[in-house]
Amino acid sequence: MIAQVGPDQLRLPTPCADWTLHGLLRHQVSENRGFAAAAAGVTGDLRAWDQGNLGEDPYQAYLDSADAMTRAFTEDVLDRSVQIREFGFFPGRVALGMHVLDCVVHGWDVAQSIGVAYDPDADLVHYSLKVAARIPTGAPSDDRPGIPFAPAVEISAGAPALEQLLGLVGRRPTAS
């Protein structure tokens, strides 16, 4: 999906409030770098989560960061505790699930921004739907800071899994 983004599209709006496509891609690269740092055992220093420099080639920046994240999540990381941003510590397996969810949803965001079809793997969508169902929704508050997505929106119960997932994370798919 990201390979389809042209330089002239980086200023386009996205379904993510307050983010252009450039900002969304920067977020994705930052998340990849942050998850890689978490898997490597970095704790307490959240700067790794804000290193999404896109440089002259956003697609290559994304590929490099995704490669770093993939290499960092070795089998032994899945069962140990890793720090995920300001959200706290989670088993690596849970952290990886959170990242898969983020990637699936933001893939849709990118597709919406550039006007192309989005057809992610059905197993990834169903897995992401299960992960999203366990994440708190609603607006952040003093007792619930850092809610990672927009408040859920109502989607019909019979809607396809991708639309249900998007609704859980505050997106309004046009087909619903």
| Tokens matching residue 115 | 């006007």
The pLDDT, as a whole number, for residue 136 is 67
The pLDDT, as a whole number, for residue 161 is 96
Cβ atoms of residues 100 and 127 within 8 Å? yes
The stretch 56-60 carries a mean pLDDT of: 95
Using CA atoms of 143, 145, 148, 152 in order, give the dihedral in degrees to the nearest 10: 40
The pLDDT, as a whole number, for residue 142 is 45
The pLDDT, as a whole number, for residue 52 is 86
What digits encode the pLDDT tens for the residues 69-126? 999 999 999 999 999 988 899 999 999 999 999 999 999 999 999 999 999 999 999 9
Topology (CATH level 3) of domain 2-168: Four Helix Bundle (Hemerythrin (Met), subunit A) (1.20.120)
**All structural domains of the chain with their residue ranges:** 2-168
> In sequence order, which residues have a C-beta less than 8 Å from that of residue 164 and are 6 or more positions away?
129, 155
The stretch 21-50 carries a mean pLDDT of: 93
What digits encode the pLDDT tens for the residues 79-94? 999 999 888 999 999 9
The stretch 35-39 carries a mean pLDDT of: 95
The pLDDT, as a whole number, for residue 43 is 84
**pTM to 2 decimal places:** 0.89
Identify the H or E element spanning 67. Answer: helix 58-72
What digits encode the pLDDT tens for the residues 127-167? 999 999 887 665 554 444 455 677 888 899 899 999 999 99
The pLDDT, as a whole number, for residue 138 is 55
